[in-house]
Amino acid sequence: MASIAQAIRMALHVGETQLGVQDIFGEDVGPPLGGVFTCTQGLEKAWNSPLDERGIIGMAMGLALAEQKPVAEIQFVDYIFNTIDLMKLAGNTCWTTNGEFNIDMVVMSPTGSGVHGSVYHSHSFESIATHMPGWKVIIVSNPLDAYGLLISAIKDPNPVLFMYPKALIRTQTDDVIPGAPKDQKELSKMIDAPLGDRSQWKPEWPKTEVMEIPIGRAKKYTSGDKLTVISYGRTLPLAVNAARKINENRGSEDIEVMDLRTIYPYDWDAIKTSVEKTGRVLVVNEDTEVTNFGEHLIRRIANDCFYHLQAPPKLLAGANTPGVGLAWTLEQVQVPQEDSIEKAMTELLSLEA
Torsion, Cα of 131, 136, 175, 237 (10° steps): 0
Report the alpha-carbon distance of residue 107 to residue 77 in Å, rounded.
10
> In Å, what is the CA distance from 215 to each residue of 135, 259, 265?
12, 13, 7
**How much is the pTM?**
0.96
Report the alpha-carbon distance of residue 130 to residue 124 in Å, rounded.
12
Active-site residue, from 13, 121, 296, 308 = 121
Whether 123 is a known active-site residue: answer no
Report the alpha-carbon distance of residue 248 to residue 284 in Å, rounded.
21
> 181, exposed or middle or buried, with CB in 10 Å at 0-12, 13-18, 19+?
middle
Cβ neighbours of 221 (radius 10 Å): 18
What is the dihedral sign for C-alpha 266, 270, 273, 276? negative
Report the alpha-carbon distance of residue 353 to residue 133 in Å, rounded.
38
The ranges of the chain with pLDDT < 70 are none
> In this structure, are residues 110 and 164 in contact, taking their beta carbons and an 8 Å threshold?
yes
Report the alpha-carbon distance of residue 251 to residue 236 in Å, rounded.
22
> In this structure, are residues 135 and 264 in contact, taking their beta carbons and an 8 Å threshold?
yes
Report the alpha-carbon distance of residue 227 to residue 278 in Å, rounded.
5
HEC assignment per residue over the chain: CCEHHHHHHHHHHHHHHHCCCCCEEECCCCCCCCCCCCCCCCCCCEEECCCCHHHHHHHHHHHHHCCCCCEEECCCHHHHHHHHHHHHHHHHHHHHCCCCCCCCCEEEEEECCCCCCHHHCCCCCHHHHCCCCCCEEEECCCHHHHHHHHHHHHHCCCCEEEEEEHHHCCCECCCCCCCCCCCHHHHHHHHCCCCCCCCCCCCCCCCCCCCCCCCCCCEEEECCCCEEEEECCCHHHHHHHHHHHHHHHHCCCCEEEEECCEEECCCHHHHHHHHHHHCCEEEEEEEECCCCHHHHHHHHHHHHCHHHCCCCCEEEEECCCCCCCCCHHHHHHHCCCHHHHHHHHHHHHHCCC
Query: What's the pLDDT score for residue 330?
Result: 92
